[in-house]
Amino acid sequence: MTQTVLVIGASRGIGLEFVRQYREAGWRVIATVRDDAGRERVQSLGAEPMRVDVADPASVSGLAWLLEGEKLEVALYVAGVIRRPPALTPPTREDFDAVMRTNVLGAMQALPQVAPHVAMAGGTLAFLSSAMSLIGSVPGSDSWLYRTSKAALNMAVAAAQHDYPGATLITLDPGWVQTDMGGEGAALTPEASVRGMRAVLAGVTPADRGRLLHHDGRRAAHW
């Protein structure tokens, strides 16, 4: 039986690479995009596009209707943005809203609409976080707004896990990846990062519920 994966935030980068690899593995892929260019990219890979803007609550609210009747073995919330103001100055309202709307609010709004479809398949719902979210090992103040958003995302997923016992909810650290966000000097290609995360997803156990898992299979010892 063909398995189905939902990729939220699939227009480019890591999300698009998830689409490519899951399609190559024979999965049915549903992919959310924000514009026509993204739609064309995911369609060219054989995925089924849905128009969703995670930064717009009205748009995210339509997910439940778009997914009616679907069972999802895997669902991924990949959408994310970064702003890099130093901690020496307060973040602007514009930066704060941009980061928190996509990285936290969008994820929290999508979760209760997607998780029941994952639970029906006994599957895994994963949200892309970051090693930069770990409070126990902070090397500096760089990207403090982004770090804060991902720490909040970790908590949201860990808390929500208790309401969806039929699904496994986790956060994933993709590593430092060569994307628009990570830059050309990053250590990992999107192909390598996604390959690692797919292997992690395939090996998730009930003990991983609510935890942060790294792309190379390591489990975060503390947050």
* Strand ranges inside 3-146, DSSP E: 4-8, 28-33, 48-51, 74-77, 124-128
The residues, ordered by sequence, that sit 6+ positions from 110 with a Cβ below 8 Å of its Cβ are 8, 54, 60, 63, 77
User: Domain holding 8: CATH number?
Assistant: 3.40.50.720
The answer to whether residue 158 is domain-embedded is yes
The answer to whether residue 104 is domain-embedded is yes
Could you give the strand order of the β-sheet that contains 168-173, starting from the edge strand earlier in sequence? Answer: 48-51, 28-33, 4-8, 74-77, 124-128, 168-173, 212-214
Which residues in the chain land under pLDDT 70? 139, 182, 221-223
Quick one: pLDDT at residue 140?
72
Quick one: pLDDT at residue 222?
56
The answer to whether residue 220 is domain-embedded is no
The answer to whether residue 156 is domain-embedded is yes
Total tally of structural domains belonging to the chain? 1
The answer to whether residue 222 is domain-embedded is no
* Phi, psi of 171, deg, nearest 5: -115, 150
Nearest to 200 by CA among 107, 76, 106, 42: 76
Quick one: pLDDT at residue 24?
97
The answer to whether residue 186 is domain-embedded is yes
User: Residue 35 sits in which domain range?
Assistant: 4-214
Enter the DSSP assignment of 218.
P
Quick one: pLDDT at residue 182?
65
Spatial separation of the C-alpha atoms in residues 16 and 146, rounded to whole Å: 22
The answer to whether residue 151 is domain-embedded is yes
Tens digits of residue pLDDT in 64-103: 999 999 999 999 999 999 888 788 989 999 999 999 999 9
Q: Are 85 and 92 in contact (CB under 8 A)?
A: yes
The answer to whether residue 223 is domain-embedded is no
Question: Cβ–Cβ contacts within 10 Å for residue 101, how many?
Answer: 17
Spatial separation of the C-alpha atoms in residues 168 and 184, rounded to whole Å: 33
